[in-house]
């Protein structure tokens, strides 16, 4: 359902942001 898709997108977005943050910190 939509809620599940929304949650999945949020997790993907969060992972991308975290990865970018970690890369920039190094």
Query: What is the tens place of the pLDDT at every residue in 1-26?
Result: 899 999 999 999 999 999 988 888 87
What confidence score (pLDDT) does residue 21 get? 87
User: What pLDDT sits at residue 23?
Assistant: 83
How far is residue 7's CA from residue 17's CA, in Å, rounded to a whole number? Answer: 15
CA dist., res. 26 & res. 17, Å (int) = 15
- 17, two tokens: 């942001």
Half-sphere CA count of 23, side-chain side, radius 13 A: 6
Q: What is the pTM of this model?
A: 0.57
Provide the domain count of the chain. 1
Instruction: Show the domain range for 6.
Output: 1-26
State the Cα–Cα distance between residues 20 and 3, nearest whole angstrom. 26
């Amino acid at each position: 359902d939509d809620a599940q898709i929304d949650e999945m997108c949020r997790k993907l977005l969060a992972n991308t942001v975290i990865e970018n943050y970690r890369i920039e910190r190094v």
